Amino acid sequence: MIGRVQKFIFLTIAVFGTMLLHVGGTYAAESKIGIVIVHGKGGSPTRHVSELASSLEAKGYLVANLEMPWSGRRHYDVSVSAAEKEIESALATLRNKGAQKLFVAGHSQGGLFALYFGGRHQVDGIIAIAPGGDVSNRTFRQELDESVRQARKLVAEGKGNDKTEFYDYEGRKGVTAVISTPAIYLSWFDPDGAMNQTMAMKNMNPRVPVLYIGPTEDYPYLRRIKHSMYGALPDNPLSKMYEPDSTHLGAPSASRDEIVRWTAEVRDKANPALQGTPGNGRP
């Protein structure tokens, strides 16, 4: 009798364990996280975001760390729409590698572009790390007004594809020369265009949660506007403001653990078996 009981218990445990392995393994396979990382203005994949990228890869994330058109090397060589396609292509590559949950994370100007992208594309989440580069603010308008007017004039004259010298602006660095075509330049620097931060926030897809990272030692202007910018986002129970004790440039590295925690939370709450648990929501 004892032998039969022991055998029954052993078989029950074995069957139940196999079921758990199957369910757990299936969920793990179906929920692998892919993340596209985009750097800040004048930067590159090897500056400021490299530690974040390598840390996520070490934790099993599928990562695409892209060089974007605003890098120090590229100087706005393609338009906003072409830059969107670069991210779309990277997301498709991660999906083909097995990613089932896809995120876009951007730092500084990359953070603003990630927000713009999230308003036009369905992804599982957007991570905006110290987003900046709002071409609609007063300083940008003052510093770049002449370049914008020149670009509009050349486009109107049918010279939109002729390379010309224009100007970009970046805080303490001031204005710097940019060699691009008038049409491409306007796609980035039109105050009412893609890089208008207020419009990007308001136009975010409400189904896409946002992790808005506002470091405590960010540049003064970005510190002042971070709560109002976050408040302009559509309501989503998984959206969150995170404020690491960090500078602007150190924010990607300082946010590594929170990015892992938040992306896992978004992934898990997208699983029907785990839904119903309250989200973080707004503070």
Q: Provide the residue ranges of all domains of the chain, joining segments of one domain with +.
A: 33-134+194-274, 137-191
> pLDDT tens across 145-154, in order?
999 999 999 9
Give yes or no for residue 12 having a pLDDT over 50: no
9, 71, 113, 176, 244 from 23: Cα distances, Å: 21, 44, 37, 55, 36
State the residue for tokens 């934790």: 59
Say what the pLDDT of residue 214 is: 98
d(CA 197, CA 212): 13
Token readout for 211 is 């992790």
Which residues neighbour 96 within 8 Å (Cβ) at sequence distance 6 or greater? none
7, 10, 12, 101 from 2: Cα distances, Å: 9, 12, 15, 49
What's the average model confidence in pLDDT over 86-98? 98
Give yes or no for residue 90 having a pLDDT over 50: yes
pLDDT band for position 271 (cuts 50, 70, 90): low
Burial 42-55 (b: 16+ CB within 10 A, else e): bbbbeebbbebbeb
Lowest mean pLDDT among 37-46, 105-114, 166-175: 166-175
Say what the pLDDT of residue 171 is: 84
> pLDDT tens across 111-139, in order?
999 999 999 999 999 999 999 999 999 99
Strands 164-170 and 174-180: antiparallel
Instruction: Choose among 110, 126, 146: nearest CA to 210.
Output: 126
pLDDT band for position 5 (cuts 50, 70, 90): very low
d(CA 236, CA 145): 36
CA angle 163, 166, 225 (to 5 degrees): 135
d(CA 113, CA 126): 10
pLDDT band for position 31 (cuts 50, 70, 90): low
Q: Which CATH number fits domain 33-134+194-274: 3.40.630.30, 3.40.50.1820, 1.20.1280.50, 3.90.1150.10?
A: 3.40.50.1820
Give yes or no for residue 21 having a pLDDT over 60: no
Lowest mean pLDDT among 24-28, 97-101, 218-222: 24-28
Say what the pLDDT of residue 275 is: 38
For the chain, the average pLDDT equals: 88
* Of 257 and 8, more confident: 257
> pLDDT tens across 156-196, in order?
999 999 999 999 999 888 999 999 999 999 999 999 999 99
Percent of the chain with pLDDT over 90: 82
pLDDT band for position 24 (cuts 50, 70, 90): very low
**Helices and strands, counts by H and E, the chain:** 10, 8
Give yes or no for residue 249 having a pLDDT over 70: yes
Percent of the chain with pLDDT over 70: 84
Give yes or no for residue 272 having a pLDDT over 70: no
